[in-house]
Amino acid sequence: MSTKTASLDGLAQFDRTTSIWGPITLALGFLVSLAAALFAAFGTGLGITGQEVWTAFGIVFATFGIIAVVEPIAYYPILGRSAMYQAFMIGNIANKLLPSALIAQTDLGEKPGTRRAELIAGAAIIGAAFVHIITLIVLVGFLGTWLLGLLPAGVVAVARLYILAAVFGAVTVQAVVSMKNMRITIIAAVVSAVVVYGVIKLAPALANYATAIAVVAVILVAWFARKRTEESGAPDAPVSAGH
């Protein structure tokens, strides 16, 4: 058996295992999370009614339902299937796992969308989760209150104001550097600006859906504005395990 054949067989086995255990682990995580919420609502004597639960569900679904559809579509080209299962089980995708995957892919010289990039993303997510757990235990569990008490109130206020913007800014720059596609970068910047400073200003009721609208609009505009010569024979196209 050649090295290439062995590699393809290994990827095929990896895909079969992923397709079985990925949905199982996500389903178990969902059931555990749901059980904890239901116990808090109905098993602690708080007097929460079923109607209140459904009302709360409707409000959350109206706000985040579209994001639940858009996020997997937006993240899949970078993470791939196996890393997607990991990411949605762990959480904090946009501000922790996605940057980790992009940085790892860039440092190893791999463009998102290939099988190797998918494996790199999975390894990066494991590393990010490990570091996150260690820092939570040490910095939050043991030293969190003490460290927070040492910081001036002004520093804490500034950190709360700018930390999220700083994280997303770093993610954006890393994505631009990793993709190396000026056409898509310009389209994303222009369309996002139009959505935020145009569409949302004209229709404030859509503010909660700004991210979803921008993502879908960028995908559509980028698709129609793509180079037609890129449709076939692209050297960086994903390679399935069965080929």
Terminal CA-CA length for the chain: 16
Maximum Cα–Cα distance across the chain: 65
Calculate the alpha carbon distances from 5 to 2, 8, 217, 231, 242 in Å.
5, 5, 41, 27, 10
Residue ranges for the chain with pLDDT beneath 70: 1-4, 6-7, 63, 178-179, 228-243
Closest CA to 79 of 14, 44, 123, 45: 123
Please state, in angstroms and rounded to a whole number, the distance separating the CA atoms of residues 80 and 114: 8
Please state, in angstroms and rounded to a whole number, the distance separating the CA atoms of residues 52 and 212: 27
Please state, in angstroms and rounded to a whole number, the distance separating the CA atoms of residues 98 and 121: 8
Name the residue ranges covered by the structural domains of the chain: 49-180, 181-228
Calculate the alpha carbon distances from 209 to 13, 158, 165, 179 in Å.
39, 27, 18, 25
Q: What is the pLDDT of residue 120?
A: 92
Q: Let me know: does 76 contact 84? Beta carbons within 8 Å.
A: yes
Q: What is the pLDDT of residue 125?
A: 92
